[in-house]
């Protein structure tokens, strides 16, 4: 059965297979770059719940959200509202994003920026570093164990942080096995794209206390943010709600600062 995820991954893997650039040369090109802006530390030290605010033009399930947005202006609005970090879609075919969106958003703020894309090859990681990202997204459901380990290792080697995205406890175990210290729990099912608003709370109890935990998708307002903070999430990643808001700064301000509760983690490291 064809799904959103399988279709997206097919396109990205085909592009990776056709890319003839030398990973070694690209990795060498990252050697002289300035250090990244620390993402996990910004989230860990925020006064209450932190927000990773997303620059997102469209989605496969919802269609156009804000196709004509100015990424620099949106990023500045997010920072003014108290966002701790940015997430910028760079996927073109399915989300209407680009590396230029990421560069514009990062230049407009002093916030760390996550490259939000479907990372399937070393070249994707290296491109993230070269385009100016501070962190890269690794989706456990899109990668086998060897790919997940290798791409996490490469990200660390070139100075990027990796947000490892999981959807359930088995994927969380895989993320922890590669040493992930920044984990996102996506409440959106990447097969159906439906949102399960209880998923993050269920998975939270299995996330070790020393891991920075981020809840993704399904955050529609302050009540959702407060609930996830109480479950022990240090941050929420929010896209559609913020992009569609008439006052993006105020929308961010309504999400930040909720008291973060302890996670009664069942797993220790």
Active site positions, annotated: 54, 56, 116, 165, 186, 216-217
Which letter, b or e, does each residue of 16-52 get, where b requires 16 or more Cβ atoms within 10 Å of its Cβ?
eeeeeeeeeebbeebeeeeebbebbebbbebeebbbb
Provide the 10 A C-beta neighbour count for residue 233. 29
Conformational region of residue 263, where left means phi above 0, alpha means psi within -120 to 50, and beta covers everything else = beta
Rounded Cα distance, 135 and 153, in Å: 13
């Amino acid at each position: 059965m064809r799904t959103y995820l399988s279709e997206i991954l097919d396109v990205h893997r085909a592009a990776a297979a056709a890319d003839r650039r030398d990973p070694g040369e690209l990795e060498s090109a990252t050697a002289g770059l300035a250090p990244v802006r620390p993402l996990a530390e910004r989230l860990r030290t925020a006064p209450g719940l932190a927000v990773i605010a997303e620059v997102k033009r469209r989605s496969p399930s919802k269609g156009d959200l804000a196709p004509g947005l100015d990424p620099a202006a949106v990023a500045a609005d997010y920072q003014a509202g108290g966002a701790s970090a940015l997430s910028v879609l760079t996927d073109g075919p399915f989300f209407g994003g680009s590396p230029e969106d990421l560069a514009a958003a990062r230049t407009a703020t002093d916030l760390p920026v996550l490259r939000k894309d479907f990372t399937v090859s070393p070249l994707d990681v290296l491109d993230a570093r070269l385009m100016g990202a501070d962190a890269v997204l690794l989706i456990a459901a899109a990668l086998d164990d060897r790919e997940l380990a290798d791409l996490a290792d490469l990200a660390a080697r070139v100075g990027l942080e990796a947000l490892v995205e999981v959807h359930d406890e088995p994927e969380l175990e895989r993320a922890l096995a590669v040493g992930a210290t920044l984990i996102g729990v996506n409440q959106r099912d990447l097969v159906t794209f439906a949102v399960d608003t209880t998923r993050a709370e269920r998975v939270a109890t299995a996330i070790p206390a020393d891991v920075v935990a981020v809840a993704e998708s399904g955050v529609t307002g302050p009540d959702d943010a407060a609930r996830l903070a109480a479950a022990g999430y240090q941050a929420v990643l929010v896209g559609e709600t913020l992009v569609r808001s008439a006052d993006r700064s105020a929308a961010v301000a309504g999400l930040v600062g909720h008291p973060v509760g302890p996670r009664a983690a069942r797993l220790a490291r």
